[in-house]
Structure 1
Amino acid sequence: MGAAMRRIQVGSALSAFGVGFTVPFLYVYVAQVRDLGAGTAGIVLAAFAMAALIVLPVTGRVIDRRGPLPVLMGAALTASVGALALGFANSEPTAIVSAALLGAGTAVMQPALATMIVWCSTPTTRTRAFAMQFFLQNLGLGIGGLIGGQIVDEHDPGSFITLFSIEAVMFLVLAAIVVTVRLPHAPSFQDAVPKDGSAPQSGLRALLRHKAMVQLCVLGFVLFFACYGQFESGLSAYGVEAAGISPSTLGIALAANTAVIVIAQFAVLKFVERRKRSRVIAAVGLIWAVAWIAAGYAGMGHGSQAMATAAFISTYALFGLGEAMLSPTVAPLVADLAPAGMVGQYNSAFALVKQLALAVGPAVGGPMGAALHGPYIVTFLLFSLGITVLAVRLGRQLTPLQNQPYVAKSRVVAQGAPEPVPANS
């Protein structure tokens, strides 16, 4: 990594470290510590998500026009103000406004950081760059949550002020680090056009004419809906109600998910980067189908409680393996599909799709996981198999450089090498 990439990665990891201090405790903080009730806590969480949905549609165009650096700076400052205000919020309006600021800021950071990584990488180095970001962010979240759990005290609002203050400071640290980054000019991707030659020019309408990008967005929605959208809602409700999993075991399952990501990320990287991206995503769909089968076994009640617990933890571990395979695959593909001058818009569009999936996933999966155990497993097993089908279809729309940049680039270099000059010439 060059100096610019190192600073981006460090800033991204530290901001995730700050977020880890508060994310696991937000509901408890609003509902119980501030004594605003479960209803207000739900509204605060909704405000956090809705703010992201409002700002993301316009974020991409601003990134492409002004560059990712000023956008990231503004997002970090906004998130810092929101986090600090939320720490001192003791009324419903204050908590809602603070959560909206925090949600908007953190949402805008995603495409801005992704665009900075794109600008500081090439198609052949981008896979490892995004894998490193995913690894460091998960490590930061895990360590932040672990330390935050030692600080938090449900009977002491001051402990939560400390948590949110640390989060606010980490956003300021991110801003301070990235302001020293010297970005190159926006790159041009010569091969990032649809196969039919109708290369998009700019704007949402042009993006919607890009068949490969539209298919990737549909695939992305299914990916996030079937995995991330179920972690803390439907799957946890299913585990408690159908499999008899205790709340403490849920924490172990989430820890297993993070552990697999941290351990497997670089172990699978060489395997992933030398294979077609569409086939890697298709394989993830099959792995997640096995994960849902394991979850189904955990809730059938035919084995011992120990077997059910092991199967349920395996579900989260298999999800982690799939996530480790996706991190160096999907985000670089979004960048490589973007024509020159639209990297920010493509990153923002995909971030919007992710946010929509994370909003719809709990709303659908939560009630099903709690009450409709069999249909819940079957539904998301089919969604996982759908990932495989959609990935195979997407592969037909991709050029060789988009689908397998490592090998395609090597072939281009080999074919373009000058022929040796005869000695007697």
Structure 2
Amino acid sequence: MRKAYAWWADAVGGLPTTYWYLWTGLLINRVGGFAVLFLSLYLTAQRGASAALAGLIVGGYGIGGVAGTLLGGVLTDRWGRRSTLLASHFATAALLVALALTSNLRVIAALALLLGLAQAMPSPAFVAAIIDVVPAEKRSRAFNLQFWAFNLGMAGASLLAGVLAEWSYLGLFLIDGASTLLTGVLIAWKVPETRRRTIVAEPAAGGMRTALTDRIFLAFVGLTLLQALLYSQTNTIVPLAMRDDGLDPSDYGLLTALSGLLIVAGQLFVPRLIDRHRKDRVLAVALAVMAAGFAALAVADRLPAYLVAAGVWTVGSMLAAPPNAEINSELAPVELRGRYQAVFFLTFPAASFLAPALGGAGLQIFGEGHWLIVAAVGAVGALLHLAAGPARERRVRRGSAPAAAGDTHPHRRRPH
């Protein structure tokens, strides 16, 4: 019993109260956040869109996410974390209700783009706020718990969504909007502004230029994009492949629920497993494992085979989550946290566009061979992590970051 208590205290203890409110908001939002998971199926089954048109609309959601991520990063540093989170959550809730009540495909495409913008805005603010309030030595645990909460919510969402999709797609969007609204209310009630007022704000263009010219950071972002391209297959192309194999929406809901449940059951053990190893090696192993999972889809045609493949790629994503977030926090200068987070999080909306746009064509042209191409991308990413890791480690050990573009005032920069 003492060992169990000590493990639990080590896994979740000692984190600030504000962190736990952010964590709770993320969990609530994720439990109801299933509309985008089923967007491609909704468009084809309920609105008569072709697979190609559905891919373009979902890709438009990704384009909106690119703009929203950049906007969210700038606003996080200039408005503050709290204001950015509130604006994005309330806008998202309104857009989800509008999508639920709209049948015109052109209007749906426009709303999907705006939804991508609004849903991407909070990511830089969430992570910047966590870095603000959590001491550096506890951030690995904080990010691990954040990933755990995200997937705990996703597991619940997937179980509900598979049933709701067969009952009412309208319900998917309305419940998603309600959970987003509830998260916004919680943030408004309990989360204070976490940005340090003593930090001198950088000009928006100069601050973003610093992040976009930081070569070590951009190499890491590029490798994260490869990982995001793999993972984005799970909510864009995998459901289409399962449909082609004669499986139901509820089967896809079971698959995504399995991934979430594996993370819920095992994620708290990950820090102890990986903390003794260099982050670049952990990420290389993680991408190799993900690649193996997607390669298995080349021979999958029944639900059990899909579930096994999902279990494999989920283990890879579990290993990758803490080092990805920790490296990102280590490379970002304190006064540019929002902008660095924005550039980092660009990988996810970019993948949301590229994965359906390229993946839909790949599945149509190559069939099951598409999954071997996806696996090859993962294998290349694993090798590149090993090549890029040493320079990253040296940068972190120095505790330095590139000076902001045009910055000739050394006293404007402050250490982490």
TM-score per shorter chain, which class?
0.7 to 0.9
Pick closer, same or farther for the CA change 1:210–1:28 going to 2, 3 Å: closer
Pick from 203, 208, 211: which aligns with 2:207?
Answer: 203
- Code of the aligned partner of 1:7: Y
Q: Take 1:284 and 1:245, find their aligned partners in 2: how far apart are those partners?
A: 31
* 2:347 pairs with 1:353: yes
| Percentage of pairs with the same residue | 20
Greater helix fraction, Structure 1 or Structure 2: 2
Pick closer, same or farther for the CA change 1:151–1:212 going to 2, 3 Å: same
User: 2:331 — aligned with what?
Assistant: 337
User: 2:21 — aligned with what?
Assistant: 7
Q: Take 1:146 and 1:269, find their aligned partners in 2: how far apart are those partners?
A: 27
Q: Take 2:198 and 2:89, find their aligned partners in 1: how far apart are those partners?
A: 27
Q: Take 2:296 and 2:169, find their aligned partners in 1: how far apart are those partners?
A: 37
1:160 deviates by 4.2
1:152 deviates by 4.6
Pick from 19, 33, 38: which aligns with 2:33?
Answer: 19
Query: Is the 2:55–2:356 Cα contact (8 Å) retained in structure 1?
Result: no
Pick closer, same or farther for the CA change 1:152–1:6 going to 2, 3 Å: same
Q: Take 1:233 and 1:404, find their aligned partners in 2: how far apart are those partners?
A: 40
1:188 deviates by 11
Structure 1 residues 140-155: aligned runs within 5 Å: 140-152=153-165
Pick from 172, 185, 188: which aligns with 1:176?
Answer: 185
User: 1:129 — aligned with what?
Assistant: 142
- For 1:124, what is the secondary structure of its paired residue? helix
Q: Which moved more, 1:375-384 or 1:3-12?
A: 375-384
- Code of the aligned partner of 1:2: P
Aligned-pair RMSD on alpha carbons? 3.1
Structure 2 stretches of 5 or more lacking a match? 1-14, 200-204, 400-416
* 2:341 pairs with 1:327: no
Q: Which moved more, 1:172-181 or 1:334-343?
A: 172-181
Query: Is the 2:77–2:339 Cα contact (8 Å) retained in structure 1?
Result: yes
Q: Take 1:374 and 1:152, find their aligned partners in 2: how far apart are those partners?
A: 26
* 2:263 pairs with 1:269: no
User: 1:387 — aligned with what?
Assistant: 381
- For 1:376, what is the secondary structure of its paired residue? helix
Pick closer, same or farther for the CA change 1:263–1:211 going to 2, 3 Å: same
Q: Which has the larger radius of gyration?
A: 1
Query: Is the 2:61–2:352 Cα contact (8 Å) retained in structure 1?
Result: no
Pick from 107, 118, 121: which aligns with 1:108?
Answer: 121
Query: Is the 2:148–2:263 Cα contact (8 Å) retained in structure 1?
Result: yes
1:23 deviates by 2.9
1:80 deviates by 0.9
Q: Take 1:351 and 1:5, find their aligned partners in 2: how far apart are those partners?
A: 20
- Code of the aligned partner of 1:258: G
Query: Is the 2:293–2:309 Cα contact (8 Å) retained in structure 1?
Result: yes
1:214 deviates by 1.0
Query: Is the 2:286–2:320 Cα contact (8 Å) retained in structure 1?
Result: yes
- For 2:361, what is the secondary structure of its paired residue? helix
1:330 deviates by 0.5
Query: Is the 1:211–1:397 Cα contact (8 Å) retained in structure 2?
Result: no
Pick closer, same or farther for the CA change 1:265–1:187 going to 2, 3 Å: farther
- For 1:270, what is the secondary structure of its paired residue? helix
Partner deviation per Cα, 1:163-192 (whole Å, 9 max, x = no partner) = 323222222221221222134444999xxx
* 2:357 pairs with 1:363: yes
User: 2:175 — aligned with what?
Assistant: 166
Q: Take 1:160 and 1:398, find their aligned partners in 2: how far apart are those partners?
A: 45
Partner deviation per Cα, 1:187-234 (whole Å, 9 max, x = no partner) = 999xxxxxxxxxxx9433322332220110110111111x21322444
1:377 deviates by 4.1
1:85 deviates by 1.2
Partner deviation per Cα, 1:34-74 (whole Å, 9 max, x = no partner) = x4544765554343222212232333122112211111111
1:340 deviates by 1.9
User: 2:232 — aligned with what?
Assistant: 229
Q: Take 2:373 and 2:165, find their aligned partners in 1: how far apart are those partners?
A: 37
User: Normalising by structure 1, what TM-score?
Assistant: 0.79
Q: Take 2:130 and 2:33, find their aligned partners in 1: how far apart are those partners?
A: 20
- Code of the aligned partner of 1:342: L
Structure 1 stretches of 5 or more lacking a match? 190-200, 300-304, 406-425
- For 1:19, what is the secondary structure of its paired residue? coil
- For 2:391, what is the secondary structure of its paired residue? coil
User: 2:220 — aligned with what?
Assistant: 216
Pick closer, same or farther for the CA change 1:314–1:89 going to 2, 3 Å: same
- Code of the aligned partner of 1:181: V
1:153 deviates by 5.0
Q: Take 2:171 and 2:144, find their aligned partners in 1: how far apart are those partners?
A: 31
- Code of the aligned partner of 2:325: A
Partner deviation per Cα, 1:328-371 (whole Å, 9 max, x = no partner) = 11122111100121111111111112211221122223333344
Q: Take 2:209 and 2:92, find their aligned partners in 1: how far apart are those partners?
A: 30
